[in-house]
Amino acid sequence: MAFPVFLLLCFFLSIVSVFIVIRASRLRRLRLPPGNLGLPFVGETLQLISAYKTENPEPFIDERVRRFGPLFTTHVFGEPTVFSADPEVNRFILQNEGKLFDCSYPGSISNLLGKHSLLLMKGSLHKRMHSLTMSFGNSSIIKNHLLVDIDRLIRFNLDSWSDRILLMEEAKTITFNLTVKQLMSYDPCEWTERLRKQYVLVIEGFFTLPSRLFSPTYSRAITARTKVAEALNLVVRRRRKEAATISEGGGETKNDMLAALLADEEGFSDEQIVDFLVALLVAGYETTSTIMTLAVKFLTETPLALAQLKEEHEGIRAKKSNNKEALEWSDYKSMPFTQCVINETLRVANIIGGIFRRAITDVPVKGYTIPKGWQVFASFRAVHLDLHHYKDARSFNPWRWQNQPVSTISGNVFMPFGGGPRLCPGYEIARVILSVFLHRMVTRFSWVPAEEDKLVFFPTTRTQKRYPIKVQHRNCE
């Protein structure tokens, strides 16, 4: 009895060996980019994570680019991966979304966002949703509808500031409230605060093992995600009933994203709308708030830049009857140095350090081949901090954008919002929020760091202590 089992085992091992030999032969014929796959199973994941948990993760990229060039092979997060620090290759990857490459994200993120989230949608449905989102966040909508709420809700949050605050937490509250308002027309209240607390738990599960059995953090995140979905489902169902009443001639239509989703001619299911809202709330909560925090941190560490920014905004404030008078679109358009600060914060901080994609077929790139099924990582961070593209690239220098505005820079070397069919649909709103926030902060407060804090980049870009500062009103109401 034992002998047949032994024969079966030998046969199985032979088949596996043949498969490995054939696969290795195929990979040699394809001419992979040079690199190192590291240890079995874990590859170079530990080196990557340990680098990104420091203030200076660049050596992971720098050493490999120096040895292998800007396109190299590695093995991270359980998969062989072609890593690109080449701006032309990055743009090629983004522009060929759905043709040569598909989006690819860890299972924990996919499960928590939902299969109908904008991040995971593909094909015509993604194009439709992305187009709708872009149209609802263009400059005309912001100018005529959203700016007044952005300014009002930022002032509402700043009214509660005194003495010592954790700036990153305050910024996250601001961006969450703004996103809820834009999506569903809710002002800050107990319901929005309960929803935000559940979101914090959801986000904590993004970079964990996607197993409720082995990861308590992931288990809490799934539970929180269920509660968030239930709360949003109630809102969607109620708004569907309101929309039906309005179509019969009663009630007033709300001018928000949910109204646009419910009015779509082709129609979206409740599940699709809820997943969509979940993903947009996550995006608004996490990314913009981090940029707001780091802009203040970099300005605090660069007194000349902070002084010039204050001068620009004091000029705008001087035209108002008081410091609480609403900002207008013309005010936003008269903030040139503010835009330099925002560009430089986006470039240095790299909130979105890059994107993962998966090759749909064998893809020839610059004399190499990315094999079908392999993961690719287009690194924006590597390009933004490359000395070949930016002088003294790793220093915060907003004046570089006065001499070289965005319009004159190749799209290949400045991509803080991604590109191609998955260009971040909220990029214009993010700029307006940052501009209004900086205006209100520098005209109302002076501040100093409450304690030393530093940047870390894993699992997301953030400050280690949520950037505690001591604030003082400037008495210029």
**Known binding-site positions:** 424
- Structure-token match 């993004």, residue found: 206
- For 346, other C-beta atoms within 10 Å of its C-beta total 24
Pull the structure tokens for residue 473: 């009103």
468-473/163-166 β-pairing: antiparallel
How far apart (Å, rounded) are the C-alpha atoms in residues 92 and 94? Answer: 6
How far apart (Å, rounded) are the C-alpha atoms in residues 97 and 359? Answer: 10
How far apart (Å, rounded) are the C-alpha atoms in residues 206 and 221? Answer: 8
Which amino acid appears at position 242 of this protein?
Answer: E
Which amino acid appears at position 386 of this protein?
Answer: D
How far apart (Å, rounded) are the C-alpha atoms in residues 103 and 95? Answer: 12
- The residues pairing with 363 across neighbouring beta strands, listed in sequence order, are 370
The annotation places the binding site for heme at 424
- State phi, psi for 75 to the nearest 5 degrees: -145, 105
Residue 197 makes CB contacts below 8 A (sequence gap 6+) with none
Nearest CA to 60 out of 74, 41, 78 is that of 74
